[in-house]
Amino acid sequence: MTKSAPVSARRDLADAPLLVAARGGTPRHTPVWFMRQAGRSLPEYRQLREGVPMLQACLTPELISEITLQPVRRHGVDAAILFSDIVLPLYAAGIGLDIVPGTGPVVSNPVRTAADVATLPSLDPAQVSPVADAVGLLVHELGRTPLIGFAGAPFTLASYLVEGGPSRNHERTKALMHSDPRTWHALLDKLASTTLEFLRLQVAAGVDAIQLFDSWAGALSQRDYREFVLPHSQRIFTGVAEMSDLPKIHFGVGTGELLGAMRAAGADVVGVDWRVPLDEAAARLHAAEPSWGAPVVQGNLDPAVLFAGWDAVEREVRRILGEGKAAGGHIFNLGHGVLPTTEPEVLTGIVELVHTASEQQ
């Protein structure tokens, strides 16, 4: 089996638009990629995945590599993102869970007590070695296209574990947080260790940037985020930074009130969903801590707009490109993931439009 590339053998992609923008430089065009671009809307992905459970696919190097490459070939995006799932390291470590179609991650034995937390298994890097093998395959196939690695943030992983699956209100999660802070912090400490181990493996294997998904952090107030979540996410970003200076992206849904705190965790780039215009997001980020300098933002086209016809899509893309100029750097993306019934041709058209429009500006 192909071995993953060591950090010392990392590709020289200093002029790649995504990496230039992420570091606050001026790329030759605004870079663009899409969250959940690896699959979902692509017929070739559905054909490849037929009969293969999600978590099995995420531990098969050849499948990971091919699925990651598909949107790069089809759309010409400026970055590939590793095909995986945020709950994969939990599953690989031995936590009983499954991804149920139409529902999402379902945990067989929810974690709700100090005893539950104490018995959570730690992640051994060998348990996710197929992911490193897939990165090794990809860095040889991607040429000049950067590869983004990713993982789930401790709060979002904790929500799945405590609730037992997806939740609208996160009531059990918040109840544990407020009623038993010691157990809560012990849980997030364990999850931060798992996430950091998973990201370190990806960095060592050769990814060119990482993104930490805190999908459900928007359910929290800023006070609760800073007290109960920020220290654990900060530990992850610090751990990655100690290993490599590659760009670090932080994203959550509905986190307009948390943008400054999410940047404070150690992110170089803050993802913004469609609810907050990018110029307003840049202003909020700068106001949170002016000494950090001009913020770099990622986003933020509403995924639902992709169903509104090309005239509406083009109008929104151009608006977002204009608003992104207010930031210290802009990576074009959706405000959340690609919806499964999105026409692939629309995504290809957006990539072409972003490239040509930003080159002309």
Q: Which residues are identified as catalytic?
A: 36, 40, 49, 85, 160
CA distance 53 to 51: 6
Pairing of strands 97-100, 104-107: antiparallel
CA distance 136 to 111: 35
Which residues share a beta bridge with 238? Answer: none
CA distance 250 to 237: 9
Please, where are the H alpha helices in the chain? 17-22, 43-49, 54-57, 61-75, 88-93, 114-118, 129-141, 154-163, 171-179, 181-205, 222-228, 230-243, 259-264, 278-288, 310-324, 344-360
Q: Are 269 and 297 a contacting pair, CB within 8 Å?
A: yes
Token readout for 176 is 């544990």
Secondary structure of residue 98 in the 3-state scheme: strand
**What single-letter DSSP state applies at residue 207?**
-
- For the chain, the distance separating the N- and C-terminal CA atoms, rounded to the nearest angstrom, is 46
Q: How many CA atoms lie within 13 A of 320 on its CB side?
A: 30
Q: Are 333 and 21 a contacting pair, CB within 8 Å?
A: no
Q: Are 200 and 239 a contacting pair, CB within 8 Å?
A: yes
- Say if residue 91 is exposed, middle or buried (CB neighbours under 10 Å; 0-12, 13-18, 19+): buried
